[in-house]
């Protein structure tokens, strides 16, 4: 029986770097976007129309989302 509580991982190979799958896009609905950015709903849509805020994706007639990566990048660019 093992007495150590730490997991045992295989030793890394010298030339191999871990290959991670690309990140899965996380989609945000409008209330989630507004909770992250310090602008109002009308200002957000005005900036989308002006091209100064990431464009949303239309998943259906009633579902509009933004990729969280796009919002994070926009926030870093504003800093």
Domain boundaries, the chain: 27-78
pLDDT grade for 3, boundaries at 50, 70 and 90? low
The residue behind tokens 């409008």 is 30
Instruction: Please say whether the beta carbons of 36 and 74 come within 8 A.
Output: no
- Average pLDDT of span 27-54: 97
- Average pLDDT of span 54-72: 97
Q: Which residues contact 9 (CB under 8 A, 6 or more apart)?
A: none
Long-range contacts made by residues 33-39, C-beta under 8 angstroms, separation at least 24? 33/66, 33/71, 36/71, 36/75, 37/71, 37/74, 37/75
What was the pLDDT predicted at 20? 82
Domain 27-78, second-level architecture: Orthogonal Bundle (1.10)
Tokens of 55: 């464009």
Q: Which of 27, 63, 34, 62 is nearest to 48 (CA)?
A: 34
């Amino acid at each position: 029986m093992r007495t150590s509580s730490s997991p045992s991982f295989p030793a890394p190979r010298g030339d191999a770097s871990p290959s991670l799958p690309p990140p899965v896009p996380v989609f945000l609905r409008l209330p989630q976007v507004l909770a992250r950015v310090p602008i109002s709903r009308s200002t957000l849509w005005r900036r989308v129309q002006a091209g100064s805020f990431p464009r949303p994706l239309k998943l259906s007639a009633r579902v509009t989302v933004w990729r969280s990566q796009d919002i994070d990048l926009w926030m870093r660019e504003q800093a």
